[in-house]
Structure 1
Amino acid sequence: MLKIEYVRDGKNQIVGSKTTGFANGDTVARDHDGRIVGHSNNKFSTTRDSNAQIRSSNQADVESLFDW
């Protein structure tokens, strides 16, 4: 079952969302307009941006994809 959580900035405004619960362990990050900004994979502990470039190779953290 997919679960959507909203990501908020320091002013409690929604800057995007992250969707978890995919069969392959991915988490998908979307901006406030609904466009995919990247994804992370818990199995391989990687985070990739929307161009499939690795942003982090040692942790699966989609919140690092958002520009604060």
Structure 2
Amino acid sequence: MNTAEPARLAWFKSSYSGNEGGACLEVATAPDTVHVRDSKAPARAQLAFRCEEWSAFVRYVTER
């Protein structure tokens, strides 16, 4: 798994996220992983998923 330093990743929020200060996640991609963090607390812990795991998760939630 790629453990790229969070500060070097290019983080982005969904285009569906507004600017109202709601609960948003930010995502950053690396060659082997997808990183996820809380947009309101970017210095705190983040999650990292293998690309295959992230794809399976996205597929699961879009089919519901």
TM tier, shorter chain? Answer: 0.3 to 0.5
Q: When you count helix as a share of all residues, which structure comes out higher?
A: 2
Q: When you count strand as a share of all residues, which structure comes out higher?
A: 1
- TM-score, length basis structure 2: 0.45
- TM-score, length basis structure 1: 0.43
